[in-house]
A and B are shown apart, each in its own frame.
Chain A
Amino acid sequence: MTRLANTFAKPHPALVCFITAGDGDTAANLDALVEGGADVIELGMPFTDPMADGPAIQEANIRSLSAGTTTADVLKLATDFRARHPEVPLILMGYANPMVRLGPEWFADAAEAAGVDGVISVDLAPEEDEDLGPALRAKGISLIRLATPTTDDKRLPKVLEGSSGFLYYVAVAGITGMQQAAIESIEANVRRIKSHTDIPIAVGFGVRTPEQATEIARVADGVVVGSALVDLVKQHGKDAPQHLRELTERLAKAVHSAR
Chain B
Amino acid sequence: MTENKPNSFMNQPDERGHFGQFGGRYVAETLMPLILDLEQEYNKAKADPAFKEEFEDLLEHYVGRPSPLYFAPRLTEELGGAQVWFKRDELNHTGAHKINNCVGQILLAMRMGKTRIIAETGAGQHGVATATVCARFGLPCTIFMGKTDVERQAPNVFRMKLLGAEVVPVTSGAATLKDAMNEALRHWVANVHDTFYIIGTAAGPHPYPELVRDFQSVIGRETREQMLKRTGKLPDLLIAAIGGGSNAIGLFHPFLDDPDVKMLGVEAAGHGLDKQHAASLAGGFPGVLHGNKTYLLQDEDGQIAEAHSISAGLDYPGIGPEHAWLKETGRVDYTSVTDDEALEAFQLLCRTEGIIPALEPSHALAAVTKVAPTMGKDETIVMNLCGRGDKDIFTVAEALGVEM
Contact = CB atoms under 8 A, between A and B. Distances in A.
Interface stretch (A35-43, A120-128, A218-226, A232-240): A120-128
Residue from B16, B189, B192, B303 with most neighbouring chain A CB atoms (10 Å)? B303
B287 A123 contact: no
A98 interface: yes
Given A51-B185, A97-B288, A125 B26 contact: yes
A34 interface: no
Main secondary structure of the interface of B (DSSP, over half): mixed
Interface string B11-39: 00000100000001111111111101000
B39 to A, nearest CB: 11
B34 A150 contact: yes
Contacts of B289: 49, 97
Nearest to B171: A55
Contact of A101 (B190, B291, B301): B301
A123 B28 contact: yes
A170 B30 contact: yes
A170 B302 contact: no
B294 to A, nearest CB: 11
B383 interface: no
A125 B32 contact: yes
A48 B25 contact: no
B178 interface: yes
Contact of B28 (A98, A128, A146, A149): A146
Interface stretch (A134-142, A173-181, A184-192): A173-181
Interface in B176-217: 178-179, 181-182, 185-186, 189-190, 192-193
Interface residues of B, number: 38
A125 B303 contact: no
Interface residues of A, number: 43
B25 A127 contact: yes
Interface of A is mostly: loop
Given A47-B303, A49-B173, A97-B288, A150 B24 contact: no
Interface of B: 16, 24-34, 36, 172-173, 178-179, 181-182, 185-186, 189-190, 192-193, 287-291, 293, 296, 298, 300-304
Given A125-B29, A128-B25, A147-B29, 9 more contacts: A62-B173, A97-B287, A100-B287, A101-B300, A145-B29, A148-B28, A172-B190, A173-B193, A178-B190
12 contacts: A49-B304, A50-B182, A51-B28, A52-B28, A54-B186, A70-B301, A97-B287, A97-B302, A128-B25, A152-B33, A170-B29, A175-B189
Q: Which are the 6 A-B pairs with shortest beta-carbon distances?
A: A101-B302, A174-B190, A98-B302, A97-B302, A148-B30, A96-B288
